[in-house]
Each structure stands twice: as C-alpha cells, then as structure tokens.
Structure 1
Amino acid sequence: MSEGASESAEVLFLGVDGGGTSTVALIGLDDGRVVGRGEAGPSNAKAVGTAAARTALEEAIAGAFAAAGLWPRAVAVACLGVAGFDRPEDKALLGEWSVAGNWADRLVLVNDGDLVVAAGTPEAWGVGVIAGTGSIAVARAADGRKARAGGWGATFGDEGSAFAVAVAALRLVARRLDGRDPRPPELDPLTEAICKALRIDGPGKIVSAVYAPGMDRTRIAALTPAVIAAAAKDPSLVDLLIRPAARDLAETAAAAARSLGWISGPLPLGLSGGFLVSTPLLAEALLEDLRGRGYEPIPTLVAEPAQGGLNLARRAFHGEAIA
C-alpha cells in the first residue's frame, strides 16, 4: 500500500489522461498527494475503437488502485481527459462506462488539452499544447472561457504531431529516391535511419513495411526518434522537418490564444505529448516562433497530464466551475 493511502473514508480523486499512445490514471488525495498510478494502451476511440478504449481506461484505473494498495471503488470526483471523446454522444458513452464500472460519484469530462493547462500553468489559465501521436492546442482564460485549435485527426489535421513529422520524413525519403528532391552528396542519414527503424535492409522495402497489416498511425509516429537522430547527423533536416512542425504547433497555439483575445504579451504555456516533451529542439523552435508572433511564452513541460485531471477533480469537489 502506498504511503498515505488507506481503506478509510479518505476522500479520493481520479485523474485520467487518455491519448493515442497510452492511457494514464492517477489516484490522489485532497492534500495533493498522488498515491497510485496505472498505465495502459491507447484510449482514443477514433484511433483504436470504443472497445479497446474502454479496456484501456479500465486497465489504467484498476492499475492505479492496485498501485495505491486499495480495492477499486467510486472516488469522490473523477476528471477524464480522453482524446477523441469531444462530442456529446462520446461523453455520454464515458458516463455510461463510469456508472457501469463504479468509477466516481461525480464525473468531470474535459478535453485532454485542458489537463495540460491545469497541470502546466501557474494560475490554471493559459494555453496547453499537446504534440504526441496527434496534436491540439487548448486555451483557458482566468474567467473560465475556453478555446481550442487543431485536434482534427490524422486525415486532415494533427499538424506538428509525431505522426505528421514521420509522414513528412517518409515523403522526403520518397522524393529523394525519385529524384524529385536532391539527394545528399553522401549517405542519406534520414533514409538510413528510417530503414533501420522499419527493420528493413534497404529503401526498396519501405512501401511493403509502411503498408503492412498492423502498421497503424501509432507505429508510424514511432518513427520520429529515427528522424530526430538523423537530424543530428544532417542539420538540413531541422529546417526541412522540425521547424515546420514547430511553426504548425505555434500557429495552432496562437489561434487558440487569439480566440480568447490574447494577441501578444505574456502567455503561460503548458507543453505536453511524448513527441514535444522528448524533443527539446522542437520545443525551443516552438517558443522561438511564438516570440516572433509577439508573445512572451512562459513554458512548463508537462510530463504527466493526468496530474491536471487530479487538480481539476479537486477543484470541482470544492465547488469551482470546471466545464
């Protein structure tokens, strides 16, 4: 049993961050302590389907209770930020799952970007930018007004995400192989890195590898570490792939900010998502672009957005309006 957790009448809160790569659930107390953490696979229903999403949520929540040394039971308030569950019918489905699973006495449903704002801005207002498998920006004003930009999915959105950068890298490799773009004079680090990541012995097998059964957008997004490694050897890739992604993210963040009347000046900024948090070059280029747009970003890296869910759950419990 984790220190501070008990089977007594201690008030418990649940914060859940569900995305296209993984799902994290935290059990917390009213004094701010986290007593349990559980993790499972992706829960973005638009990417993996509702059955897999529900399974991931249930596994993460059960894991958090197990880590806390507690039998699963309804917490006082649960705050869930799950990608792909923005429409009313999606939220109704989460509500049904919560009732069936006895997750909480009260359920607060927010966009996954709201978790980043709650966890990554000092006064719980500002802009949260997520760049993982997908991407989105969410803004919240001090008076509770909210706005968002991006988050349109892989088919016609998710600019600046790991998936978008991986696809851009694959396109660049293809264009170079075709001769539509000039090839590097020596060995091409990008092509070499992509082939190694795909576990193939040459670019002639890229099509078969990328279009193989099971090669979904999460696995394609997982090529980005190879892209970053190639950029360390070939600095031209920074301008070709990384800075454009940062520009897209900055544009999305600025759009969300402008919707709330923030056109320049200080901007509390929560940065999250596996791709953004693990790629300092991308984060710095994003901040540089925002400065060029007239903002003074005040950034915080948010490695655990589910913490924002706990913050929002506690605030809701104590009577603050969240939605």
Structure 2
Amino acid sequence: MKCVIGIEGGGTKSVMRLSDMHGNTIADSHGDCLNIYIIGRESVFNNLKDLYNKIVSKVDFKPDIVRVCIGTAGLVGEDASKFYVSSLQNICNCNDVIALTDAHISLYGYLGDMPGISIISGTGSICIGKNSEGKIVTCGGWGHIFSDEGSAFDIAINALRYIYGYVDNRNGSALIYSEFLKATSSKDYNDLLTFVYDENTNKTVLASLAEVVNDCAEKGDKIALRILYDAAGKLYDMCYDAAKNLNFNDDYEFGVVASGSVLKKSMIVRNELIKRMQENFKQCKIVKNECDAVSGAVYLALMK
C-alpha cells in the first residue's frame, strides 16, 4: 500500500504519522528529541529509527513509502538538511524526502494554503510566514548561542542572569533564586553554578527551568514578570519583521499560529504576544490549535 510519512521533530519530543495517499491517518508513533544540536546526530538517527519501527509495528502490511516530510527543530543550514534527508532515505527506504523546519510544517498544518505567520516558542524559537502569492520568509531559528529569542532556553538564561545579580547584591529576585535551588536540588548559588555548567545539563534541561520562572510570575514576582514580558516582546518582534517582509499591513487579513511549550503553558507570554499582534495588525486572526503540526508535514508530503 502506497503511503506518506510526516514527522514533527522538537527539542524534547517528536511524532511520526503514517498516512494514505488521501491524507487519512493510518498510525502515529511518538518518540524523543530530534534536534541534532541538543543530542547529536547518532542519537537523532536512532530516535528516527525507533519512530519508524514503532509505526511499522502498528500496521499489518508493509507500507510502500512514496514520500517523507520532516519538520524539525535543529534544521539549520544545508549540512543539517542533508543529514535528515539521508537518514530518512535509509530508514524509510524512500528516496523522496523533504526536510524543513518545525515552524514550516506548523504553518501548513494550521493554515493550509491561507496566508499567515507561525511562531514557535519551545526549547528554541523560530518564526515563519507566507503570503497569498506564495512568498515564504523566516525569522530566527539559528540556535541557542545567539538566537532562540523568547524561547524557554532564553527565559531560563535571563532568569539565571537575575539570580546571579541577586547574589551580587544587584537587581534580582529572591523568589526565583530560591525556586531555582529547589528545582535543581542545589544547596546554594555555588551548587547551582555547578549544575548549570555540568556536562549533563544540556539546552533542554536548562530550558525546562522556564516553567519555574512562569510559576514565579504567576505569584506576582516582578522580575519573573519582566522576563516573560521581555520574551513576549522578542517573539512579537520576530512576528512583526516577518509580517512586514510579507507586506502584511493593517488591512491585510492573515492567520497567526502560536505554538510550542512556552506559548501553550505560559498564558502571560501568550496573551502579551497576542495583544501586541492585535494592536498592530487589526485584521490578524489567532488560529486555535484545532489541528497539529505533523498534519502540515503530511500535507506537504502529499502536495509536492
């Protein structure tokens, strides 16, 4: 039976979908991180293989894979794209593989052919948009060292700056400091520093501390609120730049998809981002998450 595969790869978890040639879902499988800059290429290859083996085990026939589309965090540059393509060609026994960013498949998963912008803030961040003429632009997504603005990692790093500002008797938050100590099982700031620089404390581990910042903000901590509003501002700037590069103006109607763990779990960040978008783009419509990003990967696999 001829089938296509769509894959959504994140910095923490992933999903693979096997669909027929009409887009009907046959089976899904769930797995771990697919970002090569977090866990390395060998681990990503093994996780992709595990996803495929799981999905094949769920069906009672041998699927003839016509095309594979993956949208994943960590796809930065041509070399990364070649890795994902060659890996999936090998694993799925399929020559026709499309490798895109996670924001790209999210855009199509929620909007189809409609014009709009997809902003993702999870472990990392990226923004992508398309207009009715088919022009596509991206903003951000260049990795955590100098990009990933407004992401969970960015939030956690900003919180750490304030924590050590507090230690230095500068501007900081006692609440964030104490909550970070609890979350990392640290005794004091020296212990916390050891945790931060430990070789096992990767980007994903640090990004998970963004939830601690959100909890502090919900308790009214002014520094935590400042960090989250700053994150929302950075995400808005990415959306604004994408919109302007697509010639979206006040009277242009387009959809906005806000996804990723930060925009799902932190109503402070999400609501601030939406407020700024609606203030500056009167005709933008916030798309409710009634679909999913992996549907976009399937959609693109079928439309090529």
The 3 A distance-change label for structure 1 pair 264 and 74 is: farther
Give the distance between the partners of 1:118 and 1:227, measured in 2 at CA: 31
SS of aligned partner of 2:127: strand
Structure 1 gaps of 5+ residues are 1-8, 317-323
Asked if structure 1 preserves the Cα contact closer than 8 Å seen for 2:217 and 2:224, the reply is yes
Q: Quick check: 1:112 aligned with 2:97?
A: no
Q: Find the partner of 1:37 among 28, 31, 39.
A: 28
> Of the candidates 117, 130, 137, which is equivalent to residue 127 of structure 1?
117
Using the TM superposition, give the Cα deviation of residue 281 of structure 1 relative to its aligned residue in structure 2, in angstroms: 2.0
1:165 counterpart residue number = 155
Aligned: 1:196 with 2:182: yes
Q: Check conservation: 2:3, 2:63, Cα contact below 8 A.
A: no
- The question of 1:272 aligning with 2:259 is answered yes
Alignment partner, residue 101 of structure 1: 91
Query: 1:71: how far off?
Result: 5.4
Contact residue 75 and residue 104 of structure 1 kept, 8 A: yes
Does residue 3 of structure 2 align to residue 17 of structure 1? no
> Residue 305 in 1 paired to residue 293 in 2?
yes
Report the Cα distance in structure 2 between the residues aligned to 1:207 and 1:213, rounded to whole angstroms: 12
Question: Which residue does the alignment assign to 2:136?
Answer: 146
Alpha-carbon distance between aligned partners in 1 of 2:164 and 2:110, rounded to the nearest angstrom: 39
Distance of 2:62 and 2:152 partners within structure 1: 35
Name the SS of the counterpart of 2:96 in structure 1: strand
**Which residue does 1:6 correspond to in 2?**
none
Instruction: Judge conservation of contact 1:25–1:306 (CA < 8 Å) in 2.
Output: yes
Q: TM-score, normalised by structure 2?
A: 0.91
CA distance in 2, matches of 1:211, 1:294: 42
Mark the CA change 1:65 to 1:304 in structure 2 (over 3 Å): closer, same or farther: farther
Q: Aligned partners of 1:160, 1:284: CA distance in 2, in Å? A: 14
Determine what percentage of the aligned residue pairs are the same residue: 21
Matches within 5 A, 1:82-97: 82-97=72-87
Contact 2:172 2:223 in 1 (8 A): no
49-58 vs 147-156, which deviates more? 49-58
d(CA) in 2 for partners of 1:214, 1:26: 31
From 170, 181, 186, the equivalent of 2:171 is 181
The answer for unaligned runs of 5 or more in structure 2 is: none
Aligned to 1:3: none
C-alpha displacement at 1:306, in angstroms? 1.3
Say which of 267, 270, 275 aligns to 1:288.
Answer: 275
- CA distance, structure 1, for counterparts of residue 288 and residue 188 of structure 2: 37
Aligned residues: 302
The reply to whether residue 243 of structure 1 matches residue 258 of structure 2 is no
**C-alpha contact 1:23 1:39 (8 A) present in aligned 2:** yes
Q: Is the 8 A contact 2:89 2:96 kept in 1?
A: no
State the Cα distance separating 1:76 from its structure 2 match: 2.1
1:81–1:72 Cα change, 3 Å: farther
SS of the aligned residue for 1:253 comes to helix
Q: 1:260 aligns to what?
A: 246
Cα pair distance change 1:151/1:295, threshold 3 Å: farther
Contact 1:247/1:286 (<8 A) preserved: yes
Asked whether the 8 Å contact 2:183–2:209 carries over to 1, the reply is: yes
Q: What amino acid is the match of 1:273?
A: G
Q: How far apart, CA to CA, are the structure 2 residues paired with 1:182 and 1:194?
A: 13
Alpha-carbon offset, residue 221 of structure 1: 0.2
Q: How does 1:196-215 map to 2 (within 5 A)?
A: 196-215=182-201
Report if the CA contact (8 A) 1:12-1:75 is conserved.
yes
Encode CA deviations 1:13-38: one digit per residue, 9 max, x unaligned.
21111122222211123444323222
d(CA) in 1 for partners of 2:229, 2:71: 29
TM-score (normalizing by structure 1): 0.86
Letter matched to residue 262 of structure 1: F
Deviation at 1:156, TM superposition (A): 0.6
Q: Give 1:235 deviation, angstroms.
A: 4.2
In 2, distance between residues paired with 1:283 and 1:107?
A: 34
Q: Aligned letter for 2:135?
A: R
Deviation (angstroms), 1:110: 2.1
Could you say what secondary structure the match of 1:180 adopts? Answer: coil
Specify the alignment match of 2:220 in structure 1. 234
